[in-house]
Structure formats: structure tokens, C-alpha cells
Amino acid sequence: MLRWRIVRQGNAERGFTLIELMVVVAIVALLAIVVVPSFMSSATKSKARTETAAMFSEIAAKQAQFYAEKQRYMGALGTAPNYNGTTTCPTAVPSADYNFTTGCMASSNEWTNLRIAPTESALRCQYTITANVAGTGFTPPTGFKNSQQQLNTAEPTLASSWFYIHAKCDHGGGTGYSEYFQSSVDRLIQKKNEGN
């Protein structure tokens, strides 16, 4: 009588060795070190762009309404009837989200008089509005161009009232701020140090 015998060769159901697993873990860790900061930087830029574009649009629209009522743009409430000057909120660049409505819309201030309605409840940027009357000019904040595309150069004396908006954002606790600028003379939003 013949008997068949099944012979196994080696260990057919062998798993990964510890060294192979350690190599895979090291590769995944290296990829995470490279990819995560890049992803965070992209998310930071996107958040800053989205927030500032919405707020700049809101402020510009409310400035247009204020101008229709007063024939001036709002800069500082205390200088009525010309409203020239600067207002900033919050007073320092925030390193965490804040509520614009409760933090900036106190009674009898510039933001309330403009009737600003933020598009998000939690914001992360500081906003500054500067305005003045016809016959004056302004210099954009450092690092930005005037309407003639000249860096750090004063805008010529303007024949009409004007305003500009400057935002500083600290989205990642970095050493610098992402900054954004737009004026009533040039509606292009300029960016500086975006993502820092």
C-alpha cells in the first residue's frame, strides 16, 4: 500500500520580521516629517486668504455705504465730521481665534458705526482701517505697493476721500505674520509673508 506524505517546505505562512517593520515605520515617519508641515502651511495660507478676503469685502462694502451717507470714509470716529485717522481691532495680533462681534463691536466705536458683520464667528487676524479726506495721500504699510505698483512709496495726493485696510494674521505661532493690504484706490489684495 502506498502512502502519500505531504512535506512542507520551510514555513509557508511566514510574517514580517521586526527589522522589516522598523524600516516601514521609519519610512512613514520620514514622509510625515516632510508632508505634515507642507500640509499645515497650505492650510494656514488658505485660512488666512479666506478670512481676509471675506473681511476686506465686508469692510469695503460698509465703507461704500458709509461714504454714501457721510461723503467720507470711516477712519476714526473721534475726528468727525471728517473721520480721518486709524482704527484697529483687536489691539494686538491674536495668536488664537477670537470673537470679532464681542471683541470689536463695542458700542459707539468705528466698527459698530460701519455695521461690520463678520462672515465667520471666530477670526484670527487683526484688522486696521485708515482713512482720510480728499487732498491727502498715504503710504501703504511697509512691504506693499501703491496703485502705481511702487514698493514702499507714498500714494500721490488724492482728489477724493480714501481708505485702506491692513490685516495681520498669526495662524501658526510663527515669528512673522501673514499680512494683507487693500485700498480704495486699488482693490487688488496684496499679500506679504503669507503662511508664516
Rounded to 5 degrees, what are φ and ψ at 32?
-65, -40
Classify residue 2 as left (phi > 0), alpha (psi -120 to 50) or beta.
Answer: beta
Report whether 191 contacts 180 (CB < 8 A): yes
| Domain presence at residue 5 | no
Q: What is d(CA 34, CA 24) in angstroms, rounded to the nearest whole number?
A: 16
The DSSP code for 30 is: H
The pLDDT of residue 3: 63
End-to-end CA distance of the chain: 83
| Domain presence at residue 31 | yes
The pLDDT of residue 102: 87
pLDDT band at 161 (very low <50, low <70, confident <90, very high): very high
% of the chain with per-residue pLDDT over 70: 83
Provide the domain limits for residue 106.
Answer: 21-192
Report whether 116 contacts 130 (CB < 8 A): no
| Domain presence at residue 139 | yes
The pLDDT of residue 175: 61
Residues with Cβ within 8 Å of residue 123, at least 6 apart in sequence: 51, 55, 94, 97, 98, 99, 100
Residue with cell 500640509: 39
- 182-186 mean pLDDT: 94
| Domain presence at residue 16 | no
For residue 62, what is its C-alpha cell?
460698509
Q: Who has greater pLDDT, 190 or 15?
A: 190
Q: What is d(CA 190, CA 26) in angstroms, rounded to the nearest whole number?
A: 41
The pLDDT of residue 17: 85
Hey, which bits of 74-156 come out as E strands? 85-89, 98-99, 122-123, 125-132
- On average, the pLDDT of the chain sits at 85
Q: For the segment 83-136, what is each residue's pLDDT rounded down to a tens digit? A: 999 999 999 988 888 999 888 887 779 999 999 999 888 898 999 999 999 999
Residue with cell 520580521: 17
| Domain presence at residue 141 | yes
Beta bridge partners of 132: 162
The pLDDT of residue 62: 96
| Domain presence at residue 4 | no
pLDDT band at 27 (very low <50, low <70, confident <90, very high): confident
| Domain presence at residue 15 | no
Domain total of the chain: 1
| Domain presence at residue 153 | yes
